[in-house]
Amino acid sequence: MADIQLISTSSVKAASHKECSTHDQRIELTPWDLPLLLLGPIQKGLLFPKPKTTQEIREYSSESSIIQHLRTSLSRTLDFFNPLAGRLVSIQNEDNTTSYFIDCDNAGAQFVQAIANGVVTIADILEPIYVPDRLVHSFFPLNGVLNCEGTSKPLLGVQVTELVDGIFIVCTLNHAVADGTSFWHFFNSCFTPLSLKERIFHFTKEKSAELKTKANAEIGMTNRVSSLQAILTHCWRSVIRTQNLDPNQKVYFNLLIGARTRLHPPLPENYFGNAVYGGTVTVKAGDLLEGGLGHAAWEMNKMVALHTNEKARSFLESWVESPRLFTAGSVVRNASSTSSSPRFNVYGNDFGWGRPVAVRNGAANRTHRKITVFPMAEGGIDIEACLSLETLEAMGNDSEFMDVVTSN
């Protein structure tokens, strides 16, 4: 189609493919998959209007930032759907039959950026009585490829085509590898992080103390649960409240355990390097919401308290025995996670023209449900929550959460 101009075609790989793990590299196809080898792929695409509100325009002020978002998002999503970044392998057996399997070798998916040459509008696609097939089909990558050709062609192609007033995002997915249910599971996983946003919630000294007192009172204690544990639980409960989960579903919270003061003897005050590791609190969604602030805060407290000198040392020993690196795929999915600490000296910097007024995160390792903790400039604790726009908005509507929060 003359109206469509290809800007670029590239290969996108899973962000943190584990090069050395081979045990899950080969995936066999089933009798549901194999009959589809001689057919074509699944090809579906969604037409979106271009951003309209000022907020959206500010966020996606250029097409290239949308494309960059989609590419990054695709790469991260492939971590969870790594067969889609692989290839089919066919083997000729001695009895002259052929076997097929998926090799999750991270050879890469195809990513195509195209522009409809400034002439095609949403109306050109939606208004004709008969679907303008030549035009619509030109929005799809890997046209004419059979599923069995997945031995050399990508199993997944994504094409993003810019129209005058819209954006067409399509996926071509090898049908011997996935059906419609899996296709939409993938599509929706891939293109929802798009709206990841950060929002700052301030907990003043007074409100922090209030939450701490409340959490301790609920479990019949006076001073066991810390302000930070009470605040993190308060945030966690609001995030989960907005999700309407099955009460029996397990939810997770990753906390950072500082090793510096846990070791006997403690590390020297100026020890330079890393001395933190992670610990996870697991509760049922129902218990988190119905157990008040005290229940989960107490679980956090108990988990942290388990990390004695011995436990901190055994972490080092067991890591050496079975080393593992953090990857986007290894982080417990659905877990909320903390980073930073209210104890960091953030506002002590004064270069001679006054103290800083605020601190913010960069984009590195910006992940869904990441909760960054900072001291407030005026005392108290700031939380920077990184969540979907919908969840942040629902938290803003959650009066139990907002009652103790000062927010913009």
State the first-to-last Cα distance of the chain, in angstroms, to the nearest integer. Answer: 49
Among 5, 182, 192, 334, binds ligand NAG (CB under 6 A): 334
Using the rule CB under 6 A, is 7 a contact of ligand NAG?
Answer: no
Print burial letters for 352-386: b (CB count within 10 Å at least 16), e (below 16): eeeeeeebeeeeeeeebbbbbbbbbeeebbbbbbb
Among 390, 400, 403, 407, binds ligand NAG (CB under 6 A): 390
Stretch that binds ligand NAG, among 150-158, 323-331, 337-345, 400-408 (CB under 6 A): 323-331
Using the rule CB under 6 A, is 138 a contact of ligand NAG?
Answer: no
Stretch that binds ligand NAG, among 115-123, 130-138, 169-177, 325-333 (CB under 6 A): 325-333
- Strand ordering across the sheet containing 87-92: 26-28, 98-103, 87-92
Which secondary-structure segment (H or E) carries 285? helix 285-290
Using the rule CB under 6 A, is 402 a contact of ligand NAG?
Answer: no
Stretch that binds ligand NAG, among 40-48, 121-129, 179-187, 388-396 (CB under 6 A): 388-396
Site for ligand NAG in 147-166 (CB under 6 A): none
Stretch that binds ligand NAG, among 191-199, 309-317, 342-350, 386-394 (CB under 6 A): 386-394
CB 196 within 8 A of CB 369: no
Nearer to ligand NAG, 212 or 370 (CB): 370
Among 387, 394, 404, 405, binds ligand NAG (CB under 6 A): 394
CB of residue 82 vs ligand NAG: minimum separation in angstroms? 14
DSSP, res 350: -
- Look at the block and give the residue holding tokens 């075609």: 9
Site for ligand NAG in 60-119 (CB under 6 A): 95-96
Which secondary-structure segment (H or E) carries 379? none
Nearer to ligand NAG, 228 or 296 (CB): 296
Which secondary-structure segment (H or E) carries 213? helix 205-218
Which of the residues are catalytic?
A: 175, 350
CB of residue 22 vs ligand NAG: minimum separation in angstroms? 21
**How many of the chain's residues bind ligand NAG (CB under 6 A)?**
17
Reading the block at residue 364, the tokens are 């590195």
Cα separation, 388 vs 191, whole angstroms: 12
Site string for ligand NAG, 346-375 (x = CB under 6 A): ------------------xx-x--------
DSSP string over 142-157: STT--GGGGGTS-SEE
Cα separation, 232 vs 161, whole angstroms: 42
Among 397, 400, 403, 407, binds ligand NAG (CB under 6 A): 397
CB of residue 331 vs ligand NAG: minimum separation in angstroms? 6
CB of residue 147 vs ligand NAG: minimum separation in angstroms? 25
CB of residue 97 vs ligand NAG: minimum separation in angstroms? 9
Site string for ligand NAG, 210-249 (x = CB under 6 A): ---------------------------------x------
Distances, alpha carbon 344 to alpha carbons 223, 266, 267, 374, 376, in Å: 22, 18, 17, 7, 11
CA-closest candidate to residue 88, choices 34, 143, 24: 34
Nearer to ligand NAG, 95 or 350 (CB): 95
Among 59, 105, 179, 393, binds ligand NAG (CB under 6 A): 393
CB 277 within 8 A of CB 303: no
Cα separation, 158 vs 187, whole angstroms: 10
Check residue 108 and give left, alpha or beta (phi > 0: left; psi -120 to 50: alpha).
left
Using the rule CB under 6 A, is 260 a contact of ligand NAG?
Answer: no
Check residue 365 and give left, alpha or beta (phi > 0: left; psi -120 to 50: alpha).
left
Footprint on this chain of ligand NAG (rule: CB under 6 A):
15-16, 95-96, 243, 326-328, 333-334, 364-365, 367, 390, 393-394, 397
